Amino acid sequence: MSSFLLQVHLHQYSRKERQVQFYADKLCVTPDYLTKILKEASRMTTKEIIEEAVIMEARKLLMDNSLTIAQIADMLHFSDQSFFGKFFKKKMKISPNFFRNQYKK
């Protein structure tokens, strides 16, 4: 099992899939095995790696000022803008709006 394959799947699906089971199924392994292997290789759990991919995608989308934060939340398949904002702030320690204003192109 290659972490490269996981990265390929994350690149393809991270906008809509955040479940460990989904990626384990794609790699034909159990979720526990996937997490064990990734933890040994990266010291991060599968969930943490998935969330990092989502944050990277969110940051990229936030740089596009033509998209509203609500549109970004929808594109990333969050239930609503508020949930996206809480997720982003938990991971980045700043709100999506603050990030956008601070890191404008």
Which amino acid is it at 96?
Answer: P
Task: Delimit the domains of the chain by residue range.
Answer: 3-102
On the question of pLDDT at 21 being above 80, the answer is yes
How many angstroms separate the CA atoms of 45 and 32, rounded? 10
| CATH superfamily of the 3-102 domain | Homeodomain-like (1.10.10.60)
pLDDT in tens, 24-69: 999 999 999 999 999 998 899 999 999 999 999 999 999 999 999 9
pLDDT greater than 70 at residue 2: no
Q: Transcribe 25-72 into DSSP letters.
A: HHTTS-HHHHHHHHHHHHSS-HHHHHHHHHHHHHHHHHT-TTS-HHHH
